[in-house]
């Protein structure tokens, strides 16, 4: 290369006479940067896609201000139940923004992305740890479960020391008792909920979760008299090596989408309030709540519960831990909530014959 060529290209020669790439690479990055600045400074990309901009901002504000949404017709509860899924609109809007070459829409998407990560980003990591003094489990076994014995066998294999069952029909109760007896010598049943334990139980009592006028699949297996009188909540004490542990088992009322009432949650919400009162009066410092609450912990209806208890999945789980419906879970409505103990791990168990997935957690003192 001649001196004139070297001077023109700005590339010094190596000992072998070949130019180095350092200056060329730097020039390439400067070129790309200048080109991006020129494109961004043009007015056209910022004027394109006003509808996409509006949708992105609406999505971000909807997630940010979800607590302000009216709960008339259960609208607020419905939004909060499926709020994590609102993040799926972000890539859809991003594709639209890129297709329209709308810089303003891309920038507007920063709002919903930031809000979603602030709300749910902490659930994306695996926070589970090895160990735990006690393993607790819970499962809505399903009133229409075709194989109660098989379900009991699979739950036994989970290794849970304490196991709560919800939606036990009178017809299936004997099968569960027989199948679980060998592993769990202690058990209590109140109505359609029960607790099986490897450790002794005492001080068991019914917890009224306002189930009058019961509806849902379970109601189809009960007479009108049974629906009016059957409890779906209990409280008992588990004797552990570290001291007594108060365990609550609850199956709150079903929710329904109804033409006149919208997302109808009155039965569930009333049960949540009654359960919260019982927990507030609980004197034991160590408390575990197991059950099908028919709602997520992000639902405003459970504020009176989540203000007293912590979710094992949020603290020590991996991901969202969705449990319902079993074939394609979209929400975690089966909960393990604790107070006075430390969750070490939380996980979802394999499917059984139920339409819910079982859940389990390891806790320590």
CA distances to 37, 38, 347, 351, 358 from 320, in Å:
40, 42, 10, 16, 14
Which residues, 6+ apart, have CB-to-CB distance to 21 below 8 Å? none
Residue 212 to residue 229: CA distance in whole angstroms: 8
Measured CA angle at 364 (ends 131, 332), to 5 deg: 90
How many Cβ atoms sit within 10 Å of the Cβ of residue 1?
13
Q: What is the pLDDT of residues 130-188, one digit of tens each?
A: 889 999 999 999 999 999 999 999 999 999 999 999 999 999 999 999 999 999 999 99
Task: Give me 278's structure tokens.
Answer: 């019982």
Residue 245 to residue 342: CA distance in whole angstroms: 13
**pLDDT for 45:** 73
Question: Does residue 325 have a cis peptide bond before it, meaning omega lies within 30 degrees of 0?
Answer: yes
Q: What is the pLDDT of residues 96-108, one digit of tens each?
A: 999 999 999 999 9
Residue 164 to residue 153: CA distance in whole angstroms: 14
Report percent pLDDT > 70 for the chain. 83
Pairwise pLDDT comparison (31 vs 164), residue with the higher score: 164
**pLDDT for 196:** 98
Is the confidence at residue 211, as pLDDT, over 60?
no
pLDDT tier at 256 (50, 70, 90 boundaries)? confident
Residue 183 to residue 316: CA distance in whole angstroms: 26
CA distances to 31, 56, 93, 295 from 62, in Å:
40, 10, 15, 20
The answer to whether the Cα torsion of 77, 78, 81, 83 is positive or negative is negative
CA distances to 30, 184, 238, 271, 352 from 192, in Å:
70, 18, 20, 15, 18
Residue range 32-45: mean pLDDT, rounded: 66
Is the confidence at residue 254, as pLDDT, over 80?
yes
How many Cβ atoms sit within 10 Å of the Cβ of residue 22?
10
Q: What is the pLDDT of residues 52-77, one digit of tens each?
A: 999 999 999 999 999 999 998 889 99
The model's pTM:
0.84
User: What's the half-sphere exposure (Cβ side, CA atoms, 13 Å) at 66?
Assistant: 23
**pLDDT for 286:** 98
Tell me the average pLDDT of the chain: 89
Q: What is the pLDDT of residues 334-365, one digit of tens each?
A: 999 999 999 999 999 999 999 999 999 999 99
Is the confidence at residue 316, as pLDDT, over 70?
yes
**pLDDT for 17:** 47
Pairwise pLDDT comparison (201 vs 23), residue with the higher score: 201
Kindly report which listed range (23-37, 150-164, 318-332) carries the lowest average pLDDT score: 23-37
Is the confidence at residue 20, as pLDDT, over 60?
no
Pairwise pLDDT comparison (286 vs 20), residue with the higher score: 286
**pLDDT for 36:** 59
Could you tell me which of 136, 148, 144, 60 has the C-alpha nearest to residue 288? 136
CA distances to 12, 199, 345, 363 from 313, in Å:
60, 24, 8, 11
**pLDDT for 4:** 43
pLDDT tier at 240 (50, 70, 90 boundaries)? very high
Residue 231 to residue 224: CA distance in whole angstroms: 13
Is the confidence at residue 13, as pLDDT, over 70?
no
């Amino acid at each position: 290369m001649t001196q004139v060529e070297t001077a023109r290209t700005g590339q010094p020669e190596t000992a072998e006479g070949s130019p180095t790439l350092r200056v060329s690479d730097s020039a390439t990055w400067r070129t790309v940067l200048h080109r991006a600045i020129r494109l961004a400074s043009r007015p056209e990309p910022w004027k394109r896609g006003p509808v996409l901009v509006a949708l992105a901002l609406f999505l971000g504000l909807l997630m940010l201000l979800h607590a302000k949404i009216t709960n008339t017709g259960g609208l607020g509860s419905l939004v909060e139940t499926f709020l994590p899924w609102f993040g799926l609109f972000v890539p859809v809007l991003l594709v639209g923004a890129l297709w329209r070459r709308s810089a303003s829409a891309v920038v507007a998407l920063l709002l919903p992305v930031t809000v979603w990560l602030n709300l749910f980003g902490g659930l994306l990591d695996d926070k589970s740890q090895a160990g735990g003094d006690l393993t607790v489990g819970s499962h809505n076994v399903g009133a229409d479960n075709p194989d109660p014995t098989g379900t009991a066998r699979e739950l036994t294999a989970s290794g849970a020391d304490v196991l709560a069952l919800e939606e036990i029909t009178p017809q299936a109760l004997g099968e569960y008792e027989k199948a679980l007896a060998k592993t769990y010598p202690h058990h209590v049943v109140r109505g359609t909920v029960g607790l099986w334990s490897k450790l002794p139980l005492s001080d068991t009592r019914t917890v009224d979760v306002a189930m009058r006028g019961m509806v849902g699949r379970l109601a189809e297996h009960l007479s009108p008299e049974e629906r009016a009188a059957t409890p779906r909540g209990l409280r008992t004490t588990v004797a552990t090596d570290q001291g007594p542990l108060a365990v609550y088992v609850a199956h709150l009322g079903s929710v329904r989408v109804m033409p006149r009432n919208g997302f109808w949650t009155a039965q569930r919400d009333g049960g949540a309030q009654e359960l919260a009162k019982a927990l507030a009066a609980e004197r034991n410092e160590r408390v575990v709540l197991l059950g099908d609450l028919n709602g997520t912990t992000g639902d405003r209806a459970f504020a009176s519960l989540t203000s007293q208890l912590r979710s094992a999945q949020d603290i020590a789980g991996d991901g969202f831990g969705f449990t319902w419906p079993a074939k394609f879970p979209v929400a975690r409505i089966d909960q393990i909530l604790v107070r006075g103990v430390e969750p070490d791990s939380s996980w979802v168990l394999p499917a059984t014959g139920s339409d819910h997935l079982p859940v389990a957690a390891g806790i320590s003192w």
